[in-house]
A and B are shown apart, each in its own frame.
Chain A
């Protein structure tokens, strides 16, 4: 059996942290992606420009650099806001900018940019006849979005969202660099203390492999469900 030298429980806790981080980042990324895609497809020039600037800037900078910027810079900004609020309104608030929050914000922002592109393409893939039909039925814009555009867009977005999720899952490992005790961090400490790198990193690699493999199966299943009633090519 695999002997983890007493690091087993810590590694398991770390794995839970990794999974929590991944899901929270995904939620933020999907939200930002939907907002970004709506902005890109809207008629407002300012919204379009902002969304384009967002996706372009994010794609130019490495995830680690952004994470370091948010982690070290985030606290500085929070302190400045806190000082300002105290001086202006005499309300005392303090907010510790920890690695977990920085990780969620950074990963969410980065993948929000990728999701924006995915959702934009998916919205464009919905046939215009569908929207016209909704208008003809007297649906409002919001109604058209919720009942017609959104459900049909999901089917087109799913493969892209799945790919982004797989990359996001692996990106969570980076948060160990800014000090989050996820499973990578625990393994690193254990490997250094016990001088057994393979012994601790290989099991962690297998946890990631299991997570990506399970996601792959789940996405396949979702895809199949979403495409029920659609004639597949080939």
Chain B
């Protein structure tokens, strides 16, 4: 370690091994929460997006309502409704669900998952709707049934078109997850708030955590750019 860093670490009272461990635990919680909600959200969003494109209003209508409600209200309100609301459901405290939902992590996970699934549904729907007609006609001409067409033609081609918008959603979710700290979860932001209130040092506590979020964001941007390049390889001009 260079001398000046060692010296700085020795002189400061805030960034001790203990607070760095707190930040680390916060980082683990944030990554855990965001990763799980994104994965579950994506799994839920794919069938919902397909339902949303169906002509029958009894199938597409409820999905439209769901995405409209979750995209039209702040995530913070959704989190509050789920976090405070679940405990008020009559009889829940006697069931095994209470063992799960008494921890703030799970209500937050539920709120984040429902929110990201709503946005992702609309992203995938947009990509499905813009599938070139020719691709679907060709699939029909080959005698593929609806299911095969979805699986082999529509979804893979929609996935390529959805990646860019989805990468924005992932970063949005990472940033939105900071509000988990208001329901007593010690995520990255929660750790920073604890350290702020212990040392009354806003710049040290929050600038450091901002830097960590920035590193996470740029890592994600980089990974998605690689993925996009990979998925859109066939569209690159010859010779590049």
State whether B73 touches A65 (Cβ < 8 A): no
State whether A65 touches B76 (Cβ < 8 A): no
Alpha-carbon distance A165/B175, docked complex (angstroms): 18
Residues of A within 8 A of B72 (CB): 208-209, 212-213
Does B176 touch A at the CB level, under 8 Å? yes
Binding-face segment, A46-54, A139-147, A166-174: A166-174
Alpha-carbon distance A192/B214, docked complex (angstroms): 35
Does A118 touch B at the CB level, under 8 Å? no
Residues of B within 8 A of A57 (CB): 214
State whether A201 touches B81 (Cβ < 8 A): yes
Within 8 A of B (CB), among A122-181: 170-174, 176-177
Interface band, chain A: 35 or more
Residues of B within 8 A of A188 (CB): 80
Does B227 touch A at the CB level, under 8 Å? no
Does B75 touch A at the CB level, under 8 Å? yes
Within 8 A of A (CB), among B51-106: 69, 72-78, 80-81, 84-85, 88
Does B174 touch A at the CB level, under 8 Å? yes
State whether B179 touches A191 (Cβ < 8 A): no
Nearest CB in chain A to that of B180: its residue = A64
Within 8 A of B (CB), among A168-210: 170-174, 176-177, 184, 187-188, 191-192, 195-198, 201-202, 204-205, 208-209
Pick from A68, A191, A195: contact of B192, CB below 8 A: A68
State whether B80 touches A209 (Cβ < 8 A): no
Nearest CB in chain B to that of A75: its residue = B202
Within 8 A of A (CB), among B106-151: none
Nearest CB in chain B to that of A73: its residue = B202
Question: Separation in Å of the A96 CB from the closest CB of chain B?
Answer: 16
Nearest CB in chain A to that of B193: its residue = A68
State whether B210 touches A201 (Cβ < 8 A): no
Alpha-carbon distance A191/B88, docked complex (angstroms): 11
Residues of A within 8 A of B77 (CB): 173, 184, 201, 204-205, 208
Alpha-carbon distance A213/B217, docked complex (angstroms): 31
Nearest CB in chain A to that of B68: its residue = A209
Residues of A within 8 A of B174 (CB): 62
Within 8 A of B (CB), among A40-75: 57, 59-66, 68-69, 72-73
Pick from B81, B175, B182, B214: contact of A177, CB below 8 A: B182
Question: Separation in Å of the A25 CB from the closest CB of chain B?
Answer: 14
Alpha-carbon distance A65/B193, docked complex (angstroms): 9
B interface vs A, CB < 8 Å? 69, 72-78, 80-81, 84-85, 88, 171, 174-179, 181-182, 189, 192-193, 196, 202-203, 206-207, 209-210, 213-214, 217-218
Q: Which are the 8 A-B pairs with shortest beta-carbon distances?
A: A60-B214, A197-B84, A173-B74, A72-B202, A62-B175, A62-B178, A69-B206, A73-B202
